[in-house]
Amino acid sequence: MRSDPAAATSAAAVPPLLLAVRILVLVVVLVTVPLAEPHLGAGASGTGGAAALGVTAISYVIWLLAGRREHLTVAALAVLGVAGGVLAGLSPLSTAIAIGCVATTAAGVRLSTEASLAITAGTVAAFLAAGLATGAPAETLLGYPLTYIGFWALGLSRHAYLLRAEQAERMLAEARRARDAETQAAALAERARMAREIHDVLAHSLAAVSVNLQAAEGLLAALPAGSPELAKAIECIDRAEVFTRDGLAEARRAILALRDDAPPLPDQLSALAEEYRADGDAPVDFQVAGSPRPVAGQAGLAAYRTAQETLTNARKHAPGRPVRLCLQFSETEIAVRVTNPLPEARPGGPLAATGSGHGLTGLRERAALAGGTLTAGPADGEWQVCLRIPA
């Protein structure tokens, strides 16, 4: 019994028209054979014909209902071939030959060459034994076996066609997968190239701005002191330097997330927690739950931005309060949880009024683009933010 994919394909999906033809063949045989000579039940040949017809009908129905059950299919076809051969030998002038033709053809299509050959040989042998016993004409004894062998060869040709079609489908699927892999590799290479170019441009431009700001600060510091405008100008330059350094650092992080050699997400979040911890505003506890694994660029960047924005919000609205940052890996997703105690009734720190007020909205939009969800709100005396992304 063969186990190639073509067998499974032919076994699993029989076209409705072919099934109708098979049922029609059985109906025609059951209707016409009893009308042919010898009549069923008349003498030894009639009794044998009736028994063969009954076994044929039962095995035929079992074969039709066998479906994917290969062992049942082989047994049904073997019995069907032998019973059909005996029935054709006992009633050579009827439509009984159709049963053997169906059995040998189906065996050639569905089974291995060895198994189908054995069923065909059994059909021919059963016919010759019954035909010789009843004195069938010589031309019948020669023509029927050749017919069975011809239908078996037809089944083998059908099997070869199905096998080639299945192989062609597999090769086409493999070619598509290879093309998709090449396309993805090319996209990743181009993305890495663009990341390098943008990084170099931003690093050069922002570094030049920083140098010029430092030079301007030096020139202003050399002017006579005491002017409020001068102090204001120096303050603005100091602030611009901070923004420049922070902007360059953020650009590097964002571009790094687009590259193939980006650090693992746990390392990125650990560095972020250490950075906020070093500022001394509030203790930050970072934990990793589950088994870490590589995370796609967009999902990783969304997770990093969520942690960054949430830590900033905690610093703005609950200064000095401890913050817990947890990165959790499960089988189907990653989750970033940030919690901190709710601030007291007094207003937040001096940074509470800064920002546009749309940080959480932007994080929800970013999460949606990555295929995830973000929830935020008070619970159990804490402010909780949770990002979930399939990964």
What confidence score (pLDDT) does residue 317 get? 79
What confidence score (pLDDT) does residue 321 get? 84
3-class secondary-structure state, position 379: strand
Q: Are 40 and 46 in contact (CB under 8 A)?
A: yes
What confidence score (pLDDT) does residue 106 get? 92
- Alpha carbon distance 303, 373 (integer Å): 11
What confidence score (pLDDT) does residue 8 get? 41
Tokens 């990783």 correspond to 300
Tokens 């396309």 correspond to 183
> Tokens representing 240?
């611009």
Mean pLDDT of the chain: 81
Q: Are 258 and 192 in contact (CB under 8 A)?
A: yes
- Alpha carbon distance 213, 230 (integer Å): 14
Q: Which residues contact 278 (CB under 8 A, 6 or more apart)?
A: none
Helices (H), 33-137: 43-65, 70-90, 97-110, 113-134
**At 241, which helix (H) or strand (E)?**
helix 228-258
Could you tell me which of 48, 153, 30, 151 has the C-alpha nearest to residue 96?
30
- Alpha carbon distance 351, 239 (integer Å): 15
What confidence score (pLDDT) does residue 258 get? 59
> Tokens representing 293?
């694994």
**β-strand pairing of 284-289 with 323-329:** parallel
Q: In what order do the strands lie in the sheet with 333-341?
A: 284-289, 323-329, 333-341, 382-390, 373-379
3-class secondary-structure state, position 37: coil
Domain annotation for the chain: domains and CATH numbers: 5-176 (no CATH), 263-391 (3.30.565.10)
Could you tell me which of 95, 154, 155, 151 has the C-alpha nearest to residue 124?
151
pLDDT, one tens digit for every residue, the chain (391 residues): 444 444 444 444 678 888 899 899 999 999 988 888 777 777 787 888 889 999 999 999 999 998 888 899 999 999 999 999 999 998 888 899 999 999 999 999 989 899 999 999 999 999 999 999 888 888 899 999 999 999 999 999 999 998 899 899 999 999 999 998 888 888 777 776 776 666 666 666 666 676 667 776 676 766 666 667 667 777 777 777 777 777 776 666 666 665 555 678 899 899 888 888 776 667 889 999 999 998 877 788 889 889 988 888 888 777 778 899 999 999 999 999 999 888 765 544 444 444 444 678 888 888 888 889 999 999 888 899 999 999 7
Could you tell me which of 385, 307, 321 has the C-alpha nearest to residue 352?
321
What confidence score (pLDDT) does residue 3 get? 43
- Alpha carbon distance 92, 359 (integer Å): 88
Query: b/e string for 233-254 if b means 16 or more Cβ within 10 A?
Result: ebeebeebbeebeeebeebebb
Q: Which residues contact 94 (CB under 8 A, 6 or more apart)?
A: 29, 32, 33, 35, 36, 88
> Tokens representing 146?
């050749």
**CB neighbours (10 Å) of residue 90?**
29
What confidence score (pLDDT) does residue 84 get? 92
- Alpha carbon distance 298, 309 (integer Å): 16
What confidence score (pLDDT) does residue 2 get? 45
**CB neighbours (10 Å) of residue 216?**
16
Q: CB-based burial of residue 270 (10 Å sphere; 0-12 exposed, 13-18 middle, 19+ buried)? A: middle
3-class secondary-structure state, position 328: strand
- Alpha carbon distance 20, 14 (integer Å): 10
- Alpha carbon distance 145, 81 (integer Å): 12
Ramachandran area for residue 69 (φ above 0: left; ψ -120 to 50: alpha; else beta): beta
